[in-house]
Amino acid sequence: MTQDPNTKPEKPIRPELAELQERLAFGLDEKRSDAVEKRKSKNQRTARANVLDLCDPGSFIEYGALAIAAQRKRRSVKDLIEKTPADGMLAGIGAVNGSAFPEDKSRAMVLAYDYTVLAGTQGFFNHKKIDRMLKLCHEQKLPLVFFGEGGGGRPGDVDAAGVVVAGLDLGTFGSFARLSGHVPVVGVVSGPCFAGNAALLGCCDVIIAAKNSNIGMGGPVMIEGGGLGVFKTEEVGPMEIQTANGVVDIEVEDDLEAVAAAKKYLSYFQGAVSSWTAGDPLKLRDVIPESRKRAYNVRAVIKALADTDSFLELRPKFGPGMVTGFLRIEGRPFGVIANNSMHMAGAIEAEGADKAARLMMLCNAHGLPILSLCDTPGFMVGPEIEKRAQVRHVCRMFVVGSHVTVPYFTVVLRRGYGLGVMAMAKGGFHESFFTAAWPTGEFGAMGLEGAVKAGFRKELAAEADPEKREALYNKLVAALYEQGKAINMASYLEIDAVIDPADTRNWILRGLKSVPPRDASAVAHNFVDPW
C-alpha cells in the first residue's frame, strides 16, 4: 500500500505532552484493569465509571487529576502515580440531564471518592482538592453530587508530618455543610462508607444507597480501637437498618440504579420539562373507597395525580404513616407529603412528622411548591407514643410550615381532623394558598367516634339498654358526619372549595400560575436539617 503523497506525516508529540498523557492515563479505567475487575466481582463500578455515567458525554472536566497520595517519604513516586491516581478523589464539573434542561440549569459539581485507591480514604491532598471544589461550588451555586464510599481518615500520609498534627482545623466539613440550603446536595453510596466519608454523606439533602452499602460514623477499625468489640464491615449500618431508621432516603439495587436515581432527583430542582404524559384523571374519582372506614394505598393516588413515572419517594420504610417525595404535574416539579391510611389509619407519629417537616424545608430552600394530600384522624396519642418525644417532633410541622414561603396547596382526600390536619395544611386551613377537599372529605376538631364518646358520655351512660345505646351512638356519629362533610365545611368558608377529584391537577396548576414569583430574600430556612 502506497502512502498518499498529499498526506502530511503526523507530527511527533512533544515530550512534555507525551509525559502528561502518560501520567493522566494512570487514572483511567483502561489502565487499571485489575481494579476494574475487582469492582465487577462485587457488582460495582469504578468511581470514574459512575461519574461518566452521571454526566452527559464529553461534559465532565476534571480538577486535580495529577494529585497523588502524600506518601513520598515511604513509597516511590512511580508507585504512587500508578497506585494512587488523583489521590483517591475524582472532582470536577459536568452537565447532568443536559438534554432536558438549559446549560445554566444542568451544570453540577461532582465529588467521588475512589475506593480502589487506599479504600477511598480521605488523604492530605484529596482534602485540599475537595476544599478547593467546595469553595467553587458555593461561589458558582452548583448542585453537588457526592459519591461517598470510603473508610474515613487516612493515617498513612506521612508527608504531612510536621505540617499537620491532628488536622482538626481543616475546613472540609464546615464548607460541605455550608452548602445545605444553598444548593441541592445529593449523596450516593455503594459499599462501605464510614467515619469522615459518612460525616460528609450525612450532611447531604438526600442519601441514595445501593443494597450492598454499610454506613456508619465509625467503621470496624474505629469500633475495635475504641474497645467496643470486633465486627465485620457488613455488620455495621447495613441497609435494613439505615432504611428503617431514616438515614437512607432512596435504596437502589446497584451503582447503575444509584446514578439513575441521582439524575432523577436532581431533575426536580432543574425546572419544568416540556414533554410529559399523564393517566386518565377520571380514575381519581374512584380511588377513595366508598366505605369511610376502609384503608387505601395513597401512593396510588399520588401516581394517578402525577405525570407518568414522575413520582420519586423518599424514606419509604421510615415513618410509614407519612409518604413524602417529588412529582411532576404537566412537567412542573412539586414536593408532596401525604398521610398513609394503611398505617395507624394515617395518624401522624413522631417519625412521620420529622419526615414531612424535612420535605418542607427541602422544598422551601430550593423553591419547589408543596402539595399536601390529607387523610388523617390527627396526631397519634397515648402513653407509648409520648415516649418517642411526640410533642417536640410533631410540632416541627407547625414551626417549619409557618416559615415556608413557596406555594403550598392542601387537598383533603378524606379525613381532616384536629391538630394533625392543621399541621398538614401549613398550620391551618387558611394558611395554604388554597385548601380544597374532595367530596369524600370529612372534618372535625377530633375524630368523630372519639368526639361522640367524649362529648356525649352522660347521654350514652344514661341509656341502659345496650342496643339502644349503640343506636344512639351511631345516630350521634352520623349527625357529626353530616355536619363535618366537605360541602358543609365549605359553606362556612372553613375550606376554600370542594372539587371534583378529576379536576385536581387543573386546580393545582391554576393555583401555581396564580402565585407571584417568590422573593429569594424571603426564604426563612437557609439550610436543610440533616434529620
Predicted confidence (pLDDT) per residue in 244-288, tens digit: 999 999 999 999 999 999 999 999 999 999 999 999 999 999 999
Q: Residue 3: its pLDDT value, please?
A: 58
382, 359: one domain: yes
Q: Do 130 and 90 lie in a common domain? A: yes
Residues 78, 218: one domain? yes
**Predicted confidence (pLDDT) per residue in 455-493, tens digit:** 778 877 887 788 888 888 878 877 778 888 999 999 999
Same domain, 102 and 187: yes
Q: What is the pLDDT of residue 174?
A: 94
| Structural domain contains residue 142 | yes
* CATH number for 70: 3.90.226.10
Residue 230 has what pLDDT?
A: 92
CA pair distance 380, 386, nearest whole angstrom: 9
CA–CA separation, 41 and 286 (whole Å):
49
Query: Do the beta carbons of residue 196 and residue 174 sit within 8 Å?
Result: no
Name the residue range of residue 463's domain: 447-484
In a domain, 460, yes or no: yes
For helices 390-402 and 350-366, what crossing angle results, to 10°?
Answer: 20
The pLDDT value recorded for residue 426 is 97
Provide the pLDDT for residue 2.
54
Those residues whose C-beta lies under 8 Å from the C-beta of residue 472, and which sit 6 or more positions away, are 456, 459, 460, 463
User: Is 99 within a domain?
Assistant: yes
Cell reading at 419:
391538630
Give the pLDDT of residue 5.
Answer: 63
Domain count, the chain: 3
Does 457 lie in the same domain as 418? no
- 329 with 384, same domain: the answer is yes
Same domain, 138 and 241: yes
Q: Are residues 184 and 204 in the same domain?
A: yes
Q: Does 475 share its domain with 509?
A: no
Q: What is the pTM of this model?
A: 0.93
Spatial distance between the Cα atoms of 321 and 205, rounded to a whole number of angstroms: 21
Say if 219 falls within a structural domain. Answer: yes
- Within a domain: residue 526? no
> 81 and 108 in one domain?
yes
Residues in the chain where the model's pLDDT stays below 50 = 1
Same domain for 423 and 469, yes or no, is no
